[in-house]
Amino acid sequence: MKRLVLFAGMVYLLMSCAGSPGFSDGKGDMDWQLFRGDAALSGYTDTPLPEDPVLLWSYKGNTRTVSSPVVDKGTTYWCDKKGHIQGIDIKGNPAFSYDLNTAVEATPMIHDSILYIGRIDGFLSAVSLSKKDTLWNFETMGQVSATPNTVNFEGRQSVVFGSYDNFLYCVDARDGSEINRFESGYYLNGAVAVWKEHVIFGGCDSWLRIINTRTGMPTDSLLLDAYIPASPAIMGDFCYVGDYSGNIYELLLEKGKIVRHKKIMKSTNENSSFVSVLSITSETVYALSYERYLYSINRKDGKVNWKYLLKGNVGESSPLVCDDRVIVCTKTGIVTILDTQKGTLEWEYDTGEQIIGSPAVIRDHFFVLTTKGTLLCFGNK
């Protein structure tokens, strides 16, 4: 196990930013407020998918985006590459529009009617959905491409996110004032996952790091075989993460330490990279490989339950487990739903446009956003 190296150039520790995984799960019946559905980035929801999905409507945003959609009170939001935030209601009608007037690639996060989003020019912006106005901007020295997450600081709502300036930041959600920051070894591209009073994140320097958000101290780290292109996913006291060379790691966490770790899948060829976030249930890990397979891996023994060859090239879209089914999108534009136990195909839809973002699920509906800015809403007939 590798210990975290403290960099000489560290300006601040992430002092006293107390974490709480229950701060904003984004799992209301009509809400999907966080990337991956919860602060642990588990990619699991007990909200079932529509039994026999049909396309209810589509809305063409007409501007390219790499964002995933988020949903608040039935209205779906995203930001395009020109910085235009759009909100479309449950009927497919425009309900919100706001221009940041700068390039954006990040997926937003919503809490308490405020949308938080990173920008290519290095700012994190807080936008009021009710006032349609920017509440505050926090400046970093590098682009912010990762979606933010939430922690709790002594009762204060706080936002935690990484930047290409190599720092992990914790800021007050109300006014954007800096609480503290922590320097990593390279730029931070993925979201952090919240585990109890800790945040866990990987970077392009191949290190997976754990920070205690109450004390601000780094508590442990692990050097992986290759860089970490996506975020870790957590279920209970177990953390799972894939690296670019095609390995999947399981880490058992206890009191801020990695007490045990192992590879539950080893790289087999150069095309088996994992660039999307894993999905975790109580028994299974679901992983989308660059070689076009969706894997179901038994958490107990690491054996592959099944693997399913998807149509077309895959991208960065992450699988999502919804009760007893798993939904996954490919870069080619195919949306696929499989049975979680058998891996059998239950439903498939060709959007005709590339997909990089991950789906969002609410009661009786799910949403897919294409790179052309087309939002598709699926539901029951």
Looking at 177-191, 323-337, 352-366, which range is the least confident one? 177-191
pLDDT at 319: 96
Does the pLDDT value for residue 5 go beyond 60? no
Does the pLDDT value for residue 223 go beyond 50? yes
Report the pLDDT averaged over residues 15-42.
69
pLDDT at 154: 67
Does the pLDDT value for residue 190 go beyond 90? no
Confidence of residue 27 (pLDDT cuts 50, 70, 90): low
Q: Contact, 224 vs 206, CB < 8 A?
A: yes
**Is the pLDDT higher at 206 or at 268?**
206
Confidence of residue 14 (pLDDT cuts 50, 70, 90): very low
Confidence of residue 38 (pLDDT cuts 50, 70, 90): very high
What pLDDT, in 10s, does the model give residues 164-182? 998 889 899 999 999 888 8
Does the pLDDT value for residue 222 go beyond 90? yes
**Is the pLDDT higher at 367 or at 265?**
367
Q: Contact, 326 vs 294, CB < 8 A?
A: yes
Does the pLDDT value for residue 278 go beyond 80? yes
Does the pLDDT value for residue 314 go beyond 50? yes
pLDDT at 238: 97
What pLDDT, in 10s, does the model give residues 96-112? 999 999 999 999 999 99
The pLDDT mean for the chain works out to 89
Q: In terms of C-beta distances under 8 Å and separation of at least 24 residues, what long-range contacts does 139-142 make, across chains too?
A: 140/164, 140/165, 140/167, 140/169, 141/165, 141/167, 142/166, 142/187
Does the pLDDT value for residue 295 go beyond 70? yes
**Is the pLDDT higher at 6 or at 189?**
189
Written as six digits, the tokens of 86 are: 């759009």
Tell me the whole-structure pTM to 2 decimals: 0.90
pLDDT at 6: 33
Report the pLDDT averaged over residues 258-279.
85
d(CA 306, CA 293): 10
73 CB contacts (<8 Å, ≥6 apart)?
30, 31
